[in-house]
Amino acid sequence: MYDIIIVGAGPAGLTAAIYARRASKKVLVLEAKNYGGQIINTLDIENYPVEAHISGFEFATKLYEQAKNLGAEIVFEKVTEIRDNAGAKEIVTPKNTYKAKALILATGSENRKLGLPKEDELIGKGISYCATCDGAFFRKKNVAVVGGGNTALEDALYLSDIAEKVYLIHRRDEFRGEDSTVNQLKAKDNIEFVYNSTVSKLISEDRLNSIEVTNTSGEKRIIELDGLFVAIGRIPENQNFAKLIKLDQAGYVISGENCMTNVEGLFVAGDNRTKEVRQLVTATADGAVAATAAVKYINNIQ
Amino acid sequence: MAILEGNKNNFEELVLNNNGKVLVDFNAEWCGPCKMLKPMLDEVAADRDDVSIVSVNIDDEDELSAKYGISSIPCLVLFENGAESKRSVGLIPRDEIENLIGGK
Ligand SMILES: Cc1cc2nc3c(=O)[nH]c(=O)nc-3n(C[C@H](O)[C@H](O)[C@H](O)COP(=O)(O)OP(=O)(O)OC[C@H]3O[C@@H](n4cnc5c(N)ncnc54)[C@H](O)[C@@H]3O)c2cc1C
């Protein structure tokens, strides 16, 4: 039996582990993929207090080592179910069932996919969710960016310096992103705006070679390209836990700044909960709040 | 076995003329997930003598990465008897690397 099990080794989960270990609790962190969460692809973080510049990899590795050196156990298994058994928490992975007195969910969010056939098999063969990671492979090629928020705009701007031509496909005729970025984009001569349109088909042989877009009047157009960058936001992956905890319509765990959920002894930290600002500094803050609340909960039930 | 640095001059000798299994790791200095994959590849290299691992820096070796159609890294490509047999894109855990390489 662990005191505290934390699901997710991103910034929120690892910070919770640090706080829980410093309170001398027995801590297990379960992680489905890699430590560090979504930040590991980011080349340069410029808004985390104290460090003016740090790469996502370095941020993640330092945090991981800090948690590990304090004695947190970190195991790479995906949590598929959580149960509340008369207060004791059971955490199920394909390999094991773990038990803990308190549980912190810090599962973050995932790239939202287009939801089109063949999308998964074309990842790395023309489809990407990260322009700064994969943009370099599209030098002097034709690419498209799908989306209308800041990420999509910044991706288009970044790619316009590398690629021959960039199509920016957006389902509306105005952007949600910042005006200054929109103006920078409009000043570029290799960006074509494809408004009021969505991607309706991915066309490939062994790799992506074109897409079909459909506009709001139902007209279809084929765009030949080498790369498609999907930047239509992120979604929380809380479905596995929906039986036990309350989620909002978008799938976020309903919680306030105290990181509590509708279940006693079950806390939530980071991007996967309802909140306004989803950033490293708010994720790590949640980690501290959730761990402190979990420690208090355990000390009270004993 | 140590991980060898692959380039366009030695790729034929290290990979294509090898009758066994060779796992080629396409990576770059700026790629965070590649750096996270590296220690796991080091472990596999130390543990297994039935596979050679070759690291290719895509910034230095754009010819090789274009030839193998790399468009996202990290990308692991398994060669058996000099021919590509499997590939995996993105950071994967140690046991999936083992699965990709297959049994001893
Ligand atoms: C491209 C990009 C750039 C960014 N740049 C910045 C920036 O410059 N500054 C900034 O402050 N923020 C930035 N952010 C936001 C920041 O990365 C997030 O706010 C932060 O990572 C959230 O941390 P988290 O721990 O809540 O979630 P995540 O980082 O998403 O970590 C969650 C972890 O939980 C794991 N997990 C999920 N489900 C399960 C399961 N069922 N079982 C086990 N493990 C599971 C995931 O694999 C993941 O490792 C950026 C985000 C992106 C995508």
What is the DSSP code string of chain A?
A: -EEEEEE--SHHHHHHHHHHHHTT--EEEE-SS-TTGGGGG-S-B--STT-SSB-HHHHHHHHHHHHHHTT-EEE-----EEEEETTEEEEE-SS-EEEEEEEEE---EEEPP---TTTGGGBTTTEES-HHHHGGGGTTSEEEEE--SHHHHHHHHHHHTTSSEEEEE-SSSS-SS-HHHHHHHHT-SSEEEE-SEEEEEEEESSSEEEEEEEETTS-EEEEE-SEEEE-S-EEE--GGGTTTS-B-TTSPBP--TT-B-SSTTEEE-STTBS-S--SHHHHHHHHHHHHHHHHHHHHHH-
Which atom in ligand 1 lies closest to the alpha carbon of residue A79? Answer: 42
Q: pLDDT, tens digit, for every residue of A2-53?
A: 999 999 999 999 999 999 999 999 999 999 999 999 999 888 899 999 999 9
Query: In this predicted structure, what is the pLDDT of residue A5?
Result: 98
State pLDDT tens for residues B11-50.
Answer: 999 999 999 999 999 999 999 999 999 999 999 999 999 9
Q: b/e for A209-238, b at 16 or more Cβ within 10 A?
A: ebbebebeeeeeeebebbbbbbbbebbbeb
Instruction: Measure the CA–CA gap between A293 and A260, rounded to whole angstroms.
Output: 8
The phi, psi pair for A210, rounded to 5°, reads -165, 165
Calculate how close chain A gets to B72, using CA atoms only, in Å. 5
Pull the structure tokens for residue B26: 């396409």
ipTM of the complex: 0.82
Among protein residues, the one with the nearest Cα to ligand 1's atom 3 is A42
Determine the 3-state secondary structure of B57 from DSSP.
strand
**What's chain A's length in residues?**
302
Query: Which residues contact ligand 1 via a Cβ below 6 A?
Result: A 7-13, 30-33, 37-39, 41-42, 45, 47-48, 78-79, 106-109, 237, 240, 270-271, 278-281, 283
Name the token pair of B62: 């754009």
Of residues A105, A300, B61, A145, the one with CA closest to residue B75:
B61
> Tokens representing A159?
């790619």
| Neighbour-count burial of B71, counting CB atoms closer than 10 A to its CB (0-12 exposed, 13-18 middle, 19+ buried) | buried
Average confidence (pLDDT) over A232-253 = 93
Residues in B closer than 8 angstroms to A65, CB to CB, are none
Domain residue extents for chain B: 4-101
Give the mean model confidence (pLDDT) for residues A156-168. Answer: 97
Position B11 scores a pLDDT of 97
Task: State residue A279's pLDDT score.
Answer: 95
Interchain contact, A123 vs B90, CB within 8 Å: yes
pLDDT at residue B104 greater than cutoff 70: no
Domains delineated in chain A: 2-111+234-301 (3.50.50.60), 120-230 (3.50.50.60)
B33 closest CB neighbour out of A40, A126, A207: A40
Average of per-residue pLDDT across A134-143: 94
- What percent of chain A has a predicted confidence (pLDDT) above 70? 100
| pLDDT of A302 over the 80 cut | no
pLDDT in tens, A42-89: 888 999 999 999 999 999 999 999 999 999 999 999 999 999 999 999
Residue A282, pLDDT > 90, answer: yes
pTM of the model: 0.90
Asked if A55 and B36 come within 8 Å (Cβ–Cβ), the reply is no
Q: Is B41 exposed, middle or buried (0-12, 13-18, 19+ CB in 10 A)?
A: buried
Q: In this model, does residue B103 exceed pLDDT 90?
A: no
pLDDT, tens only, B48-67: 999 999 999 999 999 999 99
The confidence score (pLDDT) of residue A124 equals 87
Known catalytic residues of A are: 130, 133-134
d(CA B20, CA A226): 33
Flag whether residue A60 sits within 8 Å of chain B, measured between CB atoms: yes
- The mean pLDDT of A233-258, rounded to a whole number, is 93
Q: What separation, in Å, do the N-terminal and C-terminal C-alpha atoms of chain B show?
A: 15
B19: contact with A, CB 8 A cutoff: no
Q: Is the pLDDT of residue A132 over 90?
A: no
A126/B32 Cβ within 8 A: no
Which is higher by pLDDT, A13 or A240?
A: A13
Q: Is the pLDDT of residue B1 over 80?
A: no
Residue A55: count of CB within 10 angstroms of its CB: 18
Cα–Cα distance, A227 to A229 (Å, whole number):
7
Task: Return the residue of A nearest to B69 by Cα.
Answer: A125
Mean pLDDT of A249-265: 95
Q: Which residue has the least CA distance to atom 17 on ligand 1?
A: A39
- Domain B4-101: what homologous superfamily? Glutaredoxin (3.40.30.10)
Radius of gyration of chain A (CA): 21
Alpha carbon distance A143, A136 (integer Å): 12
pLDDT exceeds cutoff 90 at B2: no
